[in-house]
Structure 1
Amino acid sequence: MIRLDSISKQSGQQLLFIDASATLQRGEKTGLVGPNGAGKTTLFRMITGRELPDEGQVLVDRGVSIGFFSQDVGEMSGRSPVAEVMDGAGDVSTVAAELASLEAAMADPERADELDGIIERFGEVQGRFEELGGYALEGRAREVLAGLGFSQEMMEGDVGKLSGGWKMRVALARILLMRPDVMLLDEPSNHLDLESLIWLEQFLKGYDGALLMTSHDREFMNRIINKVVEIDGGTLNSYSGNYEFYEQQRAMNERQQQAQFERQQAMLAKEIKFIERFKARASHAAQVQSRVKKLEKIDRVEPPKRRQTVVFEFGQAPRSGDDVVNLKGVHKRYGSKVIYEGLDFLVRRKERCCVLGTNGAGKSTLLKLVAGATVPDEGTVSLGGSVKMGYFAQHAMELLDGDRTVFQALEDAFPQAAQGSLRALAGCFGFSGGEVDKKCRVLSGGEKARLVMARMLYDPPNLLVLDEPTNHLDIATKEMLIGALSGYEGTMLFVSHDRHFLAALSNRVLELTPEGIHQYGGGYTEYVARTGQEAPGLHS
């Protein structure tokens, strides 16, 4: 359906693609992977014709419809989310608009003399509308929005009043309702909670077109894709299989290439040693000459490109008392909405509690109460002895000083720290080389999240309260964070929609339900095994 044929593309000084080729066929669900800045978004833009390759061509089969979801959703306002989503449904929305204008024309007394023609056209358009499933369209639009977490009330409101994250969901719903021949999804999992993520997973599994997507959620990617296209040093490498298979295959390829490289290096060293030893002897001149020629003809094996993974040893958290957080008889409401009535629970030292609950169950509110960012209407929230808390929330990113660079922000927080240590910390969180000199005001959401996390973990507190800490992190940074937090000796209370993160780090689950709090010993994996669901109210 789509073919990238020997494409080359340069962006500024950077060569993104060099003579790269790949194909996308119907039924293929492809994950596009590669380090940040490798050119994933550029590739999407070239397929949609928003950018052109410098060389080579992008070939799209005639008549193929493409739906592209990107993080840049543009302006939306003045319509309801339902109307906005239906508007993206391609032909059917154009037909719906004509149907509405014909209905108005039939009721217009000034056009009575045209009535026969209008009625005839109305019949034709109505037939086409039915053919396209137009009458079912609104129902389908509502179904998709509900799947992505919208309440009926939100569906009717003004889309302009929604936050950026909810507008992203509207933009995603437009593409899903459109069901184009090819879906290009750039980070569709970024702003979704666990329930919406699992719903989207099921939707995409049932989609029969071609799919090309990026995602920082390895579990989500792993369950959907059957092919991986990797951007690696300007080339496009294709692997059949899911994300896990790709990782194993790439590691095996790298080991084989390394072994091949080492064998060739040993052989070359032996030949060069012979040449050096006998080049001055006339009796060996022919042999030396033949070996020199042989060396000139050999295709050199390149060593595998090493992916830079920086491992940072975080300091030990000071010990706290055994009772870390205690909530007793907590009541909390926002206006008429009751969040908790008489909530009790205790978090003990070294517990890593993940908090689960449906949308609006009060997950973030619970973390805010513990962090002191909000207060209960009744009841008490108390921290135990010697508790030093670190709280990561999305608003923490707004507190960075825009005029300071990344490195200065780290220096301000740790004036006594050695420069080398802070540079290693920055590198660990994806700020290498000149990136440490970027001003905080120009950082993306993901970069800000990484910087805030780096500041929090350099001198770790003994209680970490984390609200969606992985929201903007790429797979490599998440892996590093999981590795670092696996050895963390303190206590954790966290909300995340990343199932890999939940499974790797939790040893207790707190599930918020309308009936109260359900507590499960064992981590997220045990919770799924025990309840048969991956998120409250959803059966796996």
Structure 2
Amino acid sequence: MILLQCVNLSKSFGAEPILSNIKLEVQTGDRVALVGRNGAGKSTLLKTIAGQLSFDSGDIIRPKDVEMGYLAQDTGLESGLSIWEEMLTVFTPLMKMEKRLREMEQKMSDPDLLNNDTNYNKLLAEYDQLQLDFKDKGGYQYEADIRSVLSGLHFDSFDYNTKISTLSGGQKTRLALGKLLLTRPDLLILDEPTNHLDIETLTWLEQYLQGYPGAILIVSHDRYFLDKIVTQVVEISRTHSRKYVGNYTHYLEEKAKRYELEKKQYEKQQGEVAKLEDFVQRNIARASTTKRAQSRRKQLEKMNRLDRPEGDEKSAYFSFQIERQSGNEVLRIDNLEVQYGEEAIFSNLKLDLNREESVALIGPNGAGKSTILKAITKQIPYTNGTIRFGSNVVVGYYDQEQTKLKSNKLVLHELWDDHTLLPEKEIRTVLGNFLFSGDDVLKPVSALSGGEKARLALAKLMMQKANLLILDEPTNHLDLDAKEVLEAALINYPGTLLFVSHDRYFLNRLATRVCELDNGQVTDYLGDYDYYLEKKEENRQRLLLKEKEEQVQSSSHASDPTQGKTDKQSFAQDKEVKRQERQRLRRIEEIETKIEDLETNLATQEEALCDPEIYSDHEQAQSIQQEIDHHKLSIEQLMAEWEELQSE
């Protein structure tokens, strides 16, 4: 089923066209990504589809019964309610249905109604239908759904009675996302939903969206996220749209192939056109060949001329060089402690860097990653430990907030004042490589966008020629193309890298070592991000196995404390683990059978209540109702046990 169609959609701001003849189709189950440069019109298109902006021409077609949910970029949830109360508002219709069911149950026990078969049967039929609708719409699990989403978005440690008005901007943004996910619209439209999410939350969101029953239209600069989620990519470039089937990586490959093919077709046609035009020019005036020349001219007139294929839009171009090489030992951190107030963020922290390493520092939000970088660059004090640099180390630092780029200087002078001996032409050339051209260099720094400030900060960093680059979220505010350029520059960088990033695609391309900071301690993984994930899963499985073995061993020692750890015992432990697993699976099957039997009995008893003879006997009807309530309670308890066993 087609959920959304944009047919030749066009939108301009003043005289400047933003979108021209956009074609977009989303069907049931589609996962579509909109990609393009910053300013290409992606968010404008989403706002237009959502009805927040008008359009100049074309059509947006959406069936009336299709529910659409839209989350704008960095939208925070503003509410005077608590976290739990606000999430419950999504299920107001279900709660009204639940209240109505309780009222109907109370009414059905009214003796006056029992004596009126017509009214009783009518109420019972209405009750059955309402109960079925309530179940189909998730009436028995909406509170569990709320807890699941809040847990996935890292609100499980919060008191759910916390007022939303007291939360930070990032927390409000996550809550807005959570509320939208709970509404489960047919078409979910998300504009940069991965902002403000740490890696663990991103992983949860990926898994949630992979199982989402509706269609998804998404804008994101997180390439790893796009690779996991989307099956189609629509590129917005030079105001037009173009569709590619596959995820983000496949889109890049297919785009390159298309360009080469179109370029060859264009060049081939241009060669044919040149030959035909040359023949016409040389032979049109000669009586013996004029008919053939006229035929060639008609052929030229009928030819469907191909446009020259447009390559990529102009990209930033830069590379990081060093003034001189450092020694082999670049950085040694030993027993480092940093406090915030009287509380230690971390203590006894150790971290070493050697020459030409590319080290990624990862961990949950609040773990202290940026704090370490600021301690290394002497922006904050540390209370204990040592930070020691090796010989000839020159440090260059990139701040994720670009806190030093708030001056009223012009862009030109922001860079030139740091390198006064260089001619203006050279400074302008550097800025041009970072896409500051013409009058762009005369803008005040304070008026720049986030993406422009990021590019200016990178230009300043490049000019330092430092041999140790310390980067805090360097891909923030950069569009997909700029990220690719930055990666290429850093991959070829001859110095040493220490960086913090939530961009897993970036981590995979750059990291030669991943250092995980958690609970104040650093754990090393010698590889890229995918290797880190593999080792984490291996360690998790090993820990689970060890715990099971210890449980078996503890049980064995309780019965015979003198028994040693022999091969025979290990074999017995393995058998015990397997026996417990078989026991777990058997219990799951038993529960499923019991639930099925109870639901059958429940249906029989509820049907029995429809019998006027039974309902005329108040004591018998009350007894059956008690059995029904007992069966419902048993089913709930069994379901809770079933869910617990499934999660083991």
Query: TM-score per shorter chain, which class?
Result: 0.7 to 0.9
> What 5-or-longer segments of structure 1 have no aligned partner?
104-119
In the alignment of these two chains, the number of paired residues is 517
Deviation (angstroms), 1:476: 0.8
Give the alignment partner of residue 38 of structure 2, picking from 28, 36, 39: 36
Match of 2:329 in 1: 323
SS at match of 1:366: helix
Determine the C-alpha separation between the residues in 2 that align with 1:7 and 1:438. 33
Determine the C-alpha separation between the residues in 2 that align with 1:53 and 1:262. 37
Amino acid at match of 1:30: V
Q: 1:355 touches 1:493 (CA, 8 Å); kept in 2?
A: yes
Amino acid at match of 2:375: L
Q: Which moved more, 1:416-425 or 1:489-498?
A: 416-425
Determine the C-alpha separation between the residues in 1 that align with 2:462 and 2:43. 31
SS at match of 1:361: coil
Determine if the alignment matches structure 1 residue 225 to structure 2 residue 230.
yes
> What 5-or-longer segments of structure 2 have no aligned partner?
103-122, 545-648
Q: Which moved more, 1:77-86 or 1:241-250?
A: 77-86
Change (3 A) 1:311 1:319: same
Amino acid at match of 2:414: A
Determine the C-alpha separation between the residues in 2 that align with 1:345 and 1:6. 56
TM-score by length of 1: 0.86
Determine the C-alpha separation between the residues in 2 that align with 1:211 and 1:3. 14
Determine the C-alpha separation between the residues in 2 that align with 1:38 and 1:30. 17
Match of 1:73 in 2: 75
Amino acid at match of 1:53: F
Q: Which moved more, 1:203-212 or 1:273-282?
A: 273-282
1:64-93 CA distance string (max 9 Å, x none):
111111115257254444444444x2xx24
Amino acid at match of 2:153: L
Give the alignment partner of residue 388 of structure 1, picking from 391, 394, 403: 394
Specify which structure has the higher proportion of helix.
Answer: 2
Change (3 A) 1:265 1:27: same
Give the alignment partner of residue 188 of structure 1, picking from 170, 190, 193: 193
SS at match of 2:176: helix
Deviation (angstroms), 1:154: 6.9
User: Could you say which structure has the greater relative contact order, defined with CA pairs below 8 angstroms and 6 or more residues apart?
Assistant: 1
Change (3 A) 1:211 1:421: farther
Q: 2:332 touches 2:352 (CA, 8 Å); kept in 1?
A: yes
Q: 1:149 touches 1:359 (CA, 8 Å); kept in 2?
A: no
1:364-388 CA distance string (max 9 Å, x none):
2222221212222222222233322
1:333-382 CA distance string (max 9 Å, x none):
33464432322232222221111223333222222221212222222222
Deviation (angstroms), 1:394: 2.7
Match of 1:24 in 2: 26
SS at match of 1:52: coil
Q: 1:393 touches 1:466 (CA, 8 Å); kept in 2?
A: yes
1:276-309 CA distance string (max 9 Å, x none):
3334434433333332232222111112111123
Determine the C-alpha separation between the residues in 1 that align with 2:431 and 2:151. 40
Q: Which moved more, 1:181-190 or 1:444-453?
A: 444-453
Q: 1:367 touches 1:467 (CA, 8 Å); kept in 2?
A: yes
Q: 2:76 touches 2:170 (CA, 8 Å); kept in 1?
A: no
Q: 2:471 touches 2:500 (CA, 8 Å); kept in 1?
A: yes
Determine the C-alpha separation between the residues in 1 that align with 2:378 and 2:520. 25
Amino acid at match of 1:38: A
Deviation (angstroms), 1:130: 7.5
Determine the C-alpha separation between the residues in 2 that align with 1:188 and 1:164. 14
Change (3 A) 1:224 1:253: same
Amino acid at match of 1:506: A
Deviation (angstroms), 1:209: 0.4
Deviation (angstroms), 1:12: 2.4
Change (3 A) 1:251 1:468: same
Amino acid at match of 1:504: R
Determine the C-alpha separation between the residues in 1 that align with 2:447 and 2:96. 42
Q: 1:191 touches 1:471 (CA, 8 Å); kept in 2?
A: no
Percent of counterpart pairs with the same letter? 39
Deviation (angstroms), 1:63: 1.7
Deviation (angstroms), 1:136: 4.5
SS at match of 2:24: strand
Give the alignment partner of residue 507 of structure 2, picking from 502, 505, 515: 502
Amino acid at match of 1:318: R
Q: 2:367 touches 2:520 (CA, 8 Å); kept in 1?
A: no
| RMSD of equivalent CA atoms | 3.4
Change (3 A) 1:180 1:379: same
SS at match of 1:315: coil
Match of 1:54 in 2: 56
Determine the C-alpha separation between the residues in 2 that align with 1:538 and 1:431. 53
1:376-433 CA distance string (max 9 Å, x none):
22222222333221222233x2322342343332333333445454445434445455
Change (3 A) 1:516 1:37: closer
